[in-house]
Structures are given as C-alpha cells and as structure tokens.
C-alpha cells in the first residue's frame, strides 16, 4: 500500500475509478496521471521504469508520457533539438513531407 492507507481506503478508491494498486515508491499523483494508460500491464510496466536519465517519476514526466500539459515545460532549445533529430530521420521526414500541401497559386 502507499502512504499508509488501509485496505478499505484502497478499495473505495478503486471503486470510484481511481488507482486499484500502487507501487510504494511512486507518488499517488504520478499513479493518478498514469492511470490514463488503459492497459494495466502497460501502465505498471511504465510506472516501474522511470524516464531515461531519471531515478524516479515526477508529475511533469508522467504528464509528458501521457501527452498532457506540464507545469514546467521543456526549454525551447530542447524542443528545437527534438525537431532537428526528427528532421534527420528520413522516415519521419518522408512521412511529414508527403502530408504538406503545396503553396496555393492564384491566377490573376
């Protein structure tokens, strides 16, 4: 159990759509955020494996993993680096390039 909750408290939480089981080292906030991962096996595999370069989950890292808005966004340089990395990947660039529309030309 997490945070000294009793069995009845955990069951009540699960009955209301909350987290049915928890990993003691991970905060309730992180469990709550990652609860949006529908597949329970995938969710707990995610919970047990902190983000690369981190020793534990933070609420912002959990929100990033689930695509939610974070309290402390990544710095602009990190975003630019990610875009450059994606642009170097030929497969991603080819996929993105095929969905772009050509410029609109008007005849006068």
For 82-102, what is each residue's pLDDT tens digit?
788 878 877 666 665 555 555
Domain count, the chain: 2
Is 59:27 a contact under the CB 8 Å cutoff? yes
pLDDT score recorded for residue 9: 47
Whether residue 59 is found in the same domain as residue 88? no
Which structural domain range is residue 88 located in? Answer: 72-100
pLDDT score recorded for residue 76: 83
CA count, 13 A, side-chain hemisphere, 14: 11
Is pLDDT of 42 > 70?
yes
CA count, 13 A, side-chain hemisphere, 64: 13
- Calculate mean pLDDT across residues 20-49: 86
Whether residue 36 is found in the same domain as residue 87? no
Whether residue 43 is found in the same domain as residue 96? no
pLDDT band at 1 (very low <50, low <70, confident <90, very high): very low
Whether residue 2 is found in the same domain as residue 52? yes
Is 2:9 a contact under the CB 8 Å cutoff? no
């Amino acid at each position: 159990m997490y945070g000294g909750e009793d069995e009845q408290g955990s069951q009540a939480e699960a009955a209301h759509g909350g987290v049915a089981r928890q990993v003691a080292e991970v905060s309730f906030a992180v469990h709550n955020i990652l609860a949006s991962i529908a597949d329970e096996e995938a969710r707990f595999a995610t919970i047990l494996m902190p983000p690369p370069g981190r020793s534990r989950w933070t609420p912002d890292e959990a929100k990033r993993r689930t695509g939610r808005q974070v309290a402390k966004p990544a710095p602009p340089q990190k975003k630019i680096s990610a875009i450059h990395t994606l642009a170097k990947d030929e497969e991603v660039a080819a996929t993105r390039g095929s969905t772009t529309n050509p410029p609109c030309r008007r005849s006068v």
